[in-house]
Amino acid sequence: MSKQLKQILVAAGLLAAAGTALAAGADLGQAQKQATNWTAIVMFAIFVGITMWITKWAASKTKTAADFYTAGGGITGFQNGLAIAGDYMSAASFLGISGLVFASGFDGLIFSIGWLVGWPVITFLMAERLRNLGKFTFADVAGYRFDAGPIRTFAATGSLVVVAFYLIAQMVGAGQLIKLLFGLDYMVAVILVGVIMMMYVLFGGMTATTWVQIIKAVMLLVGATFMALMVMVQFGFNFESLAARAVEVHSKKDAIMGPGALINDPVSAVSVGMALMFGTAGLPHILMRFFTVPNAKEARKSVAWATTWIGYFYILTFIIGFGAITNLIPNPADYYVGGEIAKGLKGGGNMPAVHLAGAVGGDIFLGFISAVAFATILAVVAGLTLSGASAVSHDLYASVWRHGNVDQATELRVSKITTVFLGIFAVVLGVVFEKQNVAFMVMLAFAVACSANFPVLFMSVLWKDCTTKGAVAGGFVGLILSVSLTIMSPAVWEASLGNPKGTAMFPYASPAIFSMTAAFVVIWLVSLMDKSAQAAKERAAFPAQLIRSETGVGASGASGH
């Protein structure tokens, strides 16, 4: 691509941002009164400008498939840790968790813990082996000794299903949020997200995606730290007095200090916990990030830093939620519809953190936090799209269809074409699902990740007798079971599909406890029964795989160092 064309695209990006600013101006009166959207739009335009400039620089460095998928493997552990945090901390976790703390206090804390506990599991069981065995996608890991056709077809399916559900949740969330914060049309917001994200991935590949995620993570952490500090300053850094004031003003009074309705049925609680704990280790866009660092040591450092930042962030959201209680509830005229608490917060239940930003930092800071929320969505969808594109181009096209006989330039071209298709697909999904309740989609992505991707990865790396047939059979059982049980669960069957209450055939909040167990059992049984010559060959290849996974000898990108 010519330099000129790139400059035109950069200019177009800025113009798009400016154009939407105009559109927002017209909408300001009727949409949401609380946001002086101009500040937010200027801040967001600056973010887009900077990231487009980075994308241009990244484009000059993105020449091979390895550059595109893994930024050439040259990211440090600390940088990658921030990028993972940026990939993982979605707008939903920032606004949603602080909103949950605002609504029910303690339950928000329980919820956030679930989103962190998967990280040590990745560190202890996966990170190093993944780095040593893999090259571009997690299918490389399972594909090390297994028959490429079936195992990569499965892995690509698992990746694409997770990416699709995650994308729907992000796109619909993006549309609603931007409509609210910037006063844009839903349609305009969704297209804007799709176009900007596509430019990052298409031209800048993993290098641009990584830096967008790092910048976003830093902005989000700085913004959240500032809010939490301002709240703590109000109470002389005494959490007891913050909590006492919250209990005093909250309608649920002392109930916000104890567990509420979030966890009642132990089976659901354990099942959701399993989905979060093991699902994190099966998310393709997260696993892909381990191939961007040069070796296992840096891969471990990445997760340790990621865990630190994400955990720190959740502690902040807890304080922010309480700060929202003490700052917003006593001032219903400013923050509630019609000034009445009974009518709910302006903009809905996800807005406490945004309103609090205005309360403690004024309009400028409110604009900053709104821009951060937008940037957050871009960073997450860029990571998702990149991992979806690599599943198609590297696993399906290059390995399955062309049996590895494909040059780098062609593979790179296929991934770029896929990126465009995924971008359009994301926008279409965002539009199709606009009116749907998509809250369950992220949980569904985690359920599939823990029931299909994780068992296959785990068994292929750690169990010497595992075979292709076992892995593929178990993986598909986990995939089908997790999706169908989720559809039959109350969150989808009743809340989204509108069937009468009590008709859901699967009574629990998450299928993980059943679908993940089933996947492991099927992998084990089918592998045991597999007496084929291929199976014998695969078992014989285990010692070599073990050495590479444990020592990194022969690992991609590591041998030369």
Partner 1 sequence: MSQDDVVARITSNPKFQQFVSTRNVYSNIMTMLMMIVYFGYILLIAFNKPFLAQKMSAGGVISIGIPMGIGVLVFTIVITWIYVRRANTEFDATKDAIVKEASK
Q: Residue numbers of the site for partner 1 (CB under 8 A)?
A: 106, 109-110, 112-114, 116-117, 119-121, 123-125, 128, 239-240, 243-244, 247, 254, 257-259, 263-266, 269-270, 273, 277, 296-297, 300-301, 303-304, 307-308, 311-312, 314-315, 318, 543-544, 546-548, 550-554
Cβ proximity to partner 1: between 231 and 247 the closer is 247
Q: How far is the CB of 159 from partner 1 (least distance, A)?
A: 24
Question: Locate tokens 């608490």: which residue?
Answer: 341
With respect to partner 1, which residue has the nearer C-beta, 120 or 361?
A: 120
Q: Which is nearer to partner 1, 57 or 312 (CB)?
A: 312
DSSP string, 122-173: IIIIIHHHHHHH-SSSHHHHHTTTS-HHHHHHHHHHHHHHHHHHHHHHHHHH
**What is the Cα–Cα distance from 169 to 519, expressed in whole angstroms?**
25
Contact 186, 176 (CB under 8 A): yes
Q: Which is nearer to partner 1, 46 or 113 (CB)?
A: 113
Residue number, 199 or 461, with CB nearest to partner 1: 461
CA gap 412, 548 in Å, rounded:
27
Question: For partner 1, which is the closer residue by CB, 123 or 399?
Answer: 123
Rounded to 5 degrees, φ, ψ at 336 are -110, 150
* CB nearer to partner 1: pick between 244 and 528: 244
Q: Are 286 and 302 in contact (CB under 8 A)?
A: no
Choose between 277 and 412: whose C-beta lies nearer to partner 1: 277
In whole angstroms, the minimum distance from the beta carbon of 84 to partner 1 comes to: 12
Closest separation in Å from C-beta 116 to partner 1: 5
Select 155 or 272, whichever has its Cβ closest to partner 1.
Answer: 272
Cβ at position 177, least distance to partner 1 in Å? 26
Question: What three-state secondary structure class fits 407?
Answer: coil
Helix, strand, or coil here: 418? helix
Closest approach, Cβ 141 to partner 1, in A, equals: 17
Match 């916990």 to its residue by tokens.
Answer: 273
* Nearest-angstrom CA–CA distance, 295 and 553: 11
Q: Give the torsion sign (CA, 402, 407, 411, 416).
A: negative
> Crossing angle for the helix pair 77-88 and 186-234, nearest 10 degrees?
110
Would the CA dihedral through 256, 247, 357, 311 be positive or negative? Answer: negative
Q: How far apart are CA 455 and CA 519, in angstroms?
A: 7
Residue keyed to tokens 């919820």 = 111
Cβ atoms of residues 486 and 447 within 8 Å: yes
Least CB distance from residue 239 to partner 1, whole Å?
A: 7
Residue 263 C-beta: closest distance to partner 1, Å: 5
Can you tell me the distance from the alpha carbon of 44 to that of 375, in angstroms, rounded to the nearest whole number? 8
Report d(CA 43, CA 122) in Å as an integer: 35
Task: Select 300 or 394, whichever has its Cβ closest to partner 1.
Answer: 300
Backbone angles phi, psi at 93, to 5 degrees: -75, -35
Nearest to 349 by CA among 92, 532, 66, 72: 92
Q: What's the closest the beta carbon of residue 247 comes to partner 1, in angstroms?
A: 5
CA distance 85 to 544: 33
Distance CA 311, CA 467 (A): 37
CB of 142 to partner 1, least distance (A): 19
Cβ of residue 237: shortest distance to partner 1, in angstroms? 15
**Cβ of residue 257: shortest distance to partner 1, in angstroms?**
4
* Rounded least distance, CB 297 to partner 1, Å: 5
Q: What radius of gyration do the chain's Cα atoms show?
A: 23
Q: Which is nearer to partner 1, 179 or 301 (CB)?
A: 301
> 311 or 361, CB closer to partner 1?
311
Least gap, CB of 506 to partner 1 (angstroms): 19
Query: At its nearest, how many Å lie between partner 1 and the CB of residue 512?
Result: 13
Residue 504 backbone zone (phi > 0: left; psi -120 to 50: alpha; other: beta): beta
**Distance separating alpha carbons of residues 557 and 96, to the nearest angstrom:** 39
Contact 456, 158 (CB under 8 A): yes
Contacts of 388 (CB under 8 A, 6+ apart): 159, 160, 163, 164, 167, 284, 418, 422
Nearest to partner 1 of 7, 551 (CB atom): 551
Measured from the CB atom, is 251 or 264 closer to partner 1? 264
Q: What single-letter DSSP state applies at residue 93?
A: I
Interacting residues of 288 by C-beta distance below 8 A, sequence separation 6+: 69, 70, 136, 137, 138, 383, 386, 387, 390
